Structure 1
Amino acid sequence: MTTHRERVRGWVERIADARRGDSSETLAAAFLLAATLAALVWANSPWGETYQAFWHTPLSITVGAHGIELDLQHWVNDGLMALFFFVVGLEVKREFAMGELRDTSRAAVPIVAAVAGLAVPALLFLVLNPSGPASAAWGVVISTDTAFVLGLLAVVGPSRALRLRVFLMTLAVADDVGALAIIAVVYTDDLRVGPLLVSFLGLALVLLLRRMRVWRGAGYLVVSLVTWTAMYLSGVHPTLAGVMIALLLPVYPPRRREVEHAAALTRAFRQSPNPEYARAARLGLERAVSVNERLMRLYQPYTAFLVVPIFALANAGVVLSRETLTAAATSPLTWGIVLGLVIGKFVGITGATALFARIRPQALAPGLTFPQIAGGAALSGVGFTISLFIVDLALEDPLLQDEARVGVLSASVIAALLGWGVFALGARLAPPPAGPPTKLLRPVGRRDHVRGPVDAPLTVVEYGDFECPFCSKATGVARELREHFGDRVRYVFRHYPLDDYHPHARYAAQAAEAAAAQGKFWEMHDTLFRHSDDLERDAVDGYAAAVGLDMERYEEDIRTGDFVTRVEDDELDALTSELPGTPAFYLGGSETPRRHDGPHDTATMIRELEKLLP
């Protein structure tokens, strides 16, 4: 029986683990929560009147006889949030070009789930608000707050949730695409053609800068400011300027010649330090990385830890008086938002995923279970940031805006609790094993690299790292096993690069996959292990040439191919299976292979495999 003190200690350890690990989302969610609570406390304090007075303070920027005058809240919503949507656009562009959304087979399930997670909440909202001014707020329930969801997942989610995290991140990107499209199409009025044409001209200039291979951000900044101003004057919400500019900016993996040029400039500076060489080296390094990735790395911390919390501070300050709460408790608008976000997201995402998986049983990634998906779908009802943003666009009546904000805040709390409850129920109904999983997570299939007959009665699966000295010795064991068992065994190699210990292993794994595209995986595999102590990038490329690869195709495949995804898939399987290191072996007969925890010398492995023979 777990005591209360043990449960509290477990929660503290989970939070500490999130802080020690990939904690950016958790920390961003904490900043956002703190800003929200500060807004509520401020608005409901004895000095609550100063909240409205401060955020409605007018501020104008004029040049000559022309200018823009907004209150502080709208400078935040229309101005600062343009930077937030710019970063969202950068992330969307990168995911389509180089990330999860590039591989349609991997992204199919979360995309379908995202579409259902947009449509079902909107339909449920319109059931309660079919007409009238409140019906325009159906867009409030369509979006998921990625920062809050991933932060909550780190705290209340299951311990083996790597695949769920990837699923939710992919879903969130697809969700953002839908939300941005709806904002652009639905929440635009009073369109003025002249300024709109100027904004299109600005976008054309951004595209021209891209075609001219301009890689410095300053040139884009000037054009972007003009484009934002013109779009604001046109009647289209100006935050969309940030999205459209981001989608036009180039994103690409580093080109080899530019990396080598940057290295040469850096070497020249090291040999002769002076201001000119320092500037040349810095520009060379900047040119090697796409504008998209440099700007995303630059602005992401500002949007996560400054822009979005300021937005919450400016928009979440609802006066929770008896009159407001009474009106919200009886308002179809409030209940429509709660119903749409909490139930709509949960039913839409879970139902669409279940239906898609029934049609394509292999669509779900290994290790991703329906209790996990249900918990993640429940957390997706936290639609905080974009939901509050659309409240301001969809509703003009301050009373309706307050009712909608109460609905968003209530739905976010309920969705967080529901997600926690679903995860807890799933853990109780299907308790995770006491130790690491023993079965091979992903069955051997066509994607695998197999030595030996594919229908052999014995299977050996190795998760290895080309820079691991123990793995290079284990290749001898695999060879001896094949010599002993002959056609009765098949040997499968999967990647598990340990970046903390072997900095060159990941590139070597990608090189092996690029060789596989030319039908020479095993030649490259054997060569890399023979030289496991010399896997610098140039050396690996030399081995690729030595095994007879078409080097032009190899270099292009390394730069733009899907091999990064393939290596990451194997790595996620290994991490989900909690493999302690490399080499790690699974042994099996006609059934699913199981982890081999004993010594991996030839004699021991032969004895274990012989036990599996009929």
Structure 2
Amino acid sequence: MSELTIIRQSPDPDHSHAQERGRRSIAEQIRALGQTRIGALLLLAATLAAIVWANLPSESYAEFWDTHLTVGVADLQLNFTLHALVNDALMAIFFFTVGLEVRREFAIGELTSWSRAMVPMIAAVAGLILPALLFVLISSGSGQQHAWGVVISTDTAFLVGALALIGPRMPGRLRVFLLALAVVDDIGALAIIALVYTANFTPLPLVVAAIGLAGVYFTRYLRGGRGPVYATLAIIVWMAFLASGVHPTLAGVAIALLVPVYRPNRRDVEHALDLARTFRQSPNTEYARAAANSLRESISINERLQTAYAPYVAYVILPVFALANAGVELSPQILAAAAQSPITWGIIVGLVVGKLLGVFGSTALMRLTGLGEFGPGLTLDRIIGGAALCGIGFTISLFIVDLAIDDPAVQNQARVGVLAASVLAFVLATVIFRISDAAHPPTTAGRTLLRPVDPARDHIYGPLDAPFTIVEYGDFQCGFCLKATGSVEEVHREFGDSLRYVWRHAPLTRFHPNALAAAEASEAAARQGKFFEFERSLFADQERQLPSDIVRRAEELGLDLERFTTDLETAEVAARVRDDMLDAEAMDITAVPTFFINGRRHTGPFDAQSLIRALEASVQDDVRSESAR
């Protein structure tokens, strides 16, 4: 009988749901795939619509996007075509969201620690350089070698959407790796646009932009009305970039990098909860407004803006961009010219081959030499599939085509190359992921502990060199995990110093809303050497795990409260819990508690006698294995 069956038989309704949808629960915070999947499909639909529209007998596609708009007052006027409005104004919002993500990753995300960040960073740099070199080599003599920027960048929206559609089973670790890589990739692409594809540079307007950006930075200190101030300064900075000759979309990045980002402060969250309780007791407009404002202010402006703008970018801006830029004519003559064009082939080889070799080759070399941190589940067969997906260079590739190439005929050939490369990269990644999944069938997933016990990292109770080991993946709000602690204590009394027990986090956040916060709090306590004391305190009162309860527990245990609350807000604490969650996903852990006995997954009851028999059986298995050798 598996642990899944036991949970199905439990009277606890939360755990019945967890059994049915446990995989989603454990990884829900990591894999929010719904919006990205829909966004990718809309982007694809807009691309197909643009191609069909551009190939109609009439010239309506080109005429429509060449429509002129004039905005202004008196002598102060801006004249745009619809195409320029999309590429210069709407795409500034897209690049703004890119900048927000870059800022977040370096402040509280995957790029805060060099050991964690070096693998995707080096892979991204290799994935920028090799495609550019291949493009220059293939397009040599065409007069268009300067368009090498077309092949440097991966389309993050298509990348994440495609991973959701065709990715391997349990893709959490790969997705984190690819998102971190895409952030560095975006930084490189933005720098190249600014340095290489800026024409008619006029420095004076950048002084105005600098003043506006300083205003953006200091706006965080206003007590209220920050939204209108941010909006006004953003328009001023955008217009200054436009006047300077630097592509105005980069104004969005510059502004985003100055928007504050931080993890929620526990005191702010508790204050918001107090106001919400006050409103519940005395419902009125004033208390409602105060509670809403307090809840909103507890989240950083960066994350609020990402949440607000993400649907517009995914569902409107990127599809409109594709509609305006992907309209390539596909007549037999044009396709014949593209098939013989070094520009087309330079783009195809640069994106499909260059990205694959650059990303995969560099990570394989790091793996071989032991550089960087590779978590469980981030295997080379997964990485090569992700590297193939990096060849989808759609959005920024089409964007740079418009900047780098003036000849409409050559632009058409370049767009054919971008579209062909994106399709080839998608198909190649699909094949690689299917082969990878076939090589690792579900029946073998998670049978053994993927991450060995590490005394420098893990929370271990008992002698570090004990011959017997129990590793538990659990949730501090899980009733069965509470019962399991009693079983483990009984097993420990039986085995004494021959047993070491290891706790790892697998919070079922979908059904236990406080479980993730409790896990992070235990990690903050661990920094003061009191992990297991905090664990026992959490299990002793599973119903009270709100921020105020967590701080009260820390005080009762004699922890330094200022240090404790500061550690709760650090990226390192969040990353530590997220790593365990990703490990759990990689081993297909769909319910808690899940035990590993001497490195092998335990199936069946987790009462003390069952665990003792499993430990004794593991020793016999080891003896038989040794004899067989």
Q: State the TM-score, normalized to the length of structure 2.
A: 0.91
1:439 paired with 2:448, answer yes
Cα shift at 1:512: 0.8
How many residues align? The count is 591
User: After the TM superposition, which of the residue ranges 31-40 and 259-268 deviates more from structure 2?
Assistant: 259-268
State the partner residue of 1:167: 177
State the partner residue of 1:52: 62
State the partner residue of 2:159: 149
State the partner residue of 2:467: 457
State the partner residue of 2:257: 247
Cα shift at 1:281: 3.1
The separation in 1 between residues aligned to 2:188 and 2:600, in whole angstroms, is: 42
State the partner residue of 2:552: 542
Cα shift at 1:106: 2.0
CA contact (8 A) 2:344 2:417 kept: yes
The separation in 2 between residues aligned to 1:138 and 1:402, in whole angstroms, is: 16
Which of 197, 202, 211 matches 1:201? 211
1:238 paired with 2:248, answer yes
Letter in 2 for 1:608: A
Relative contact order, higher structure (CA 8 A, sep 6+): 2
Query: Secondary structure in 2 aligned to 1:578?
Result: coil
Q: Deviations over 1:328-348 (max 9, x none)?
A: 111111110001000000000
Which of 1, 17, 30 matches 2:41? 30
Where do residues 558-573 of structure 1 align in structure 2 (5 Å cutoff)? 558-573=568-583
State the partner residue of 1:3: none
Cα shift at 1:132: 5.6
Q: Deviations over 1:295-342 (max 9, x none)?
A: 111111101110010000001101112221122111111110001000
The separation in 2 between residues aligned to 1:73 and 1:520, in whole angstroms, is: 60
Q: State the TM-score, normalized to the length of structure 1.
A: 0.93
The separation in 2 between residues aligned to 1:552 and 1:40, in whole angstroms, is: 59
Which of 600, 603, 608 matches 2:614? 608
Q: Deviations over 1:13-60 (max 9, x none)?
A: xxxxx9x9722111110000000000000011223x000000001111
Letter in 2 for 1:603: Q
CA contact (8 A) 2:352 2:424 kept: yes
Cα shift at 1:261: 3.5
Question: Relative to 1, partners in 2 of residues 1:281 and 1:451: Cα closer, same or farther, differing over 3 Å?
Answer: closer
Query: Secondary structure in 2 aligned to 1:266?
Result: helix
State the partner residue of 2:338: 328
Cα shift at 1:210: 2.8
CA contact (8 A) 2:33 2:161 kept: no
1:576 paired with 2:586, answer yes
State the partner residue of 2:51: 40
State the partner residue of 2:24: none
Where do residues 80-95 of structure 1 align in structure 2 (5 Å cutoff)? 80-95=90-105
The separation in 1 between residues aligned to 2:590 and 2:393, in whole angstroms, is: 37
User: After the TM superposition, which of the residue ranges 236-245 and 492-501 deviates more from structure 2?
Assistant: 492-501
The separation in 2 between residues aligned to 1:278 and 1:612, in whole angstroms, is: 59
The separation in 1 between residues aligned to 2:283 and 2:458, in whole angstroms, is: 50
Where do residues 381-460 of structure 1 align in structure 2 (5 Å cutoff)? 381-428=391-438, 430-445=439-454, 446-460=456-470
Question: Relative to 1, partners in 2 of residues 1:339 and 1:464: Cα closer, same or farther, differing over 3 Å?
Answer: same
The separation in 1 between residues aligned to 2:350 and 2:571, in whole angstroms, is: 40
Which of 479, 496, 500 matches 1:490? 500
Q: Deviations over 1:243-300 (max 9, x none)?
A: 0000001111122333334334434444444444443333333322221111111111
CA contact (8 A) 1:496 1:582 kept: yes
User: After the TM superposition, which of the residue ranges 215-224 and 348-357 deviates more from structure 2?
Assistant: 215-224
The separation in 2 between residues aligned to 1:485 and 1:275, in whole angstroms, is: 62
Question: Relative to 1, partners in 2 of residues 1:280 and 1:533: Cα closer, same or farther, differing over 3 Å?
Answer: closer
CA contact (8 A) 1:215 1:290 kept: no
Cα shift at 1:215: 7.1
Where do residues 66-465 of structure 1 align in structure 2 (5 Å cutoff)? 66-130=76-140, 133-212=143-222, 216-360=226-370, 363-428=373-438, 430-445=439-454, 446-465=456-475
Structure 2, unmatched stretches of 5+, are 1-27, 624-629
CA contact (8 A) 1:217 1:295 kept: no
Tell me which stretches of 4 or more aligned residues in structure 1 moved more than 6 Å: none
Letter in 1 for 2:246: V
State the partner residue of 1:478: 488
User: After the TM superposition, which of the residue ranges 287-296 and 594-603 deviates more from structure 2?
Assistant: 287-296
Cα shift at 1:398: 1.0
Letter in 2 for 1:107: A
Cα shift at 1:561: 4.4
The separation in 2 between residues aligned to 1:503 and 1:302, in whole angstroms, is: 28
The separation in 2 between residues aligned to 1:408 and 1:321, in whole angstroms, is: 17
Question: Relative to 1, partners in 2 of residues 1:561 and 1:426: Cα closer, same or farther, differing over 3 Å?
Answer: closer
The separation in 2 between residues aligned to 1:467 and 1:264, in whole angstroms, is: 23
Cα shift at 1:208: 2.1
The separation in 1 between residues aligned to 2:331 and 2:168, in whole angstroms, is: 38
User: After the TM superposition, which of the residue ranges 156-165 and 563-572 deviates more from structure 2?
Assistant: 156-165
CA contact (8 A) 1:216 1:291 kept: no
Letter in 2 for 1:594: R
State the partner residue of 1:4: none
User: After the TM superposition, which of the residue ranges 338-347 and 187-196 deviates more from structure 2?
Assistant: 187-196
Question: Relative to 1, partners in 2 of residues 1:561 and 1:123: Cα closer, same or farther, differing over 3 Å?
Answer: closer
User: After the TM superposition, which of the residue ranges 250-259 and 537-546 deviates more from structure 2?
Assistant: 250-259
Q: Deviations over 1:338-380 (max 9, x none)?
A: 0100000000000000011112167211111111111111111
Letter in 2 for 1:596: H
CA contact (8 A) 1:27 1:151 kept: yes
Cα shift at 1:528: 1.4
CA contact (8 A) 2:142 2:343 kept: no
Structure 1, unmatched stretches of 5+, are 1-17
The separation in 1 between residues aligned to 2:117 and 2:554, in whole angstroms, is: 31
* Coordinate RMSD, CA, aligned: 1.9
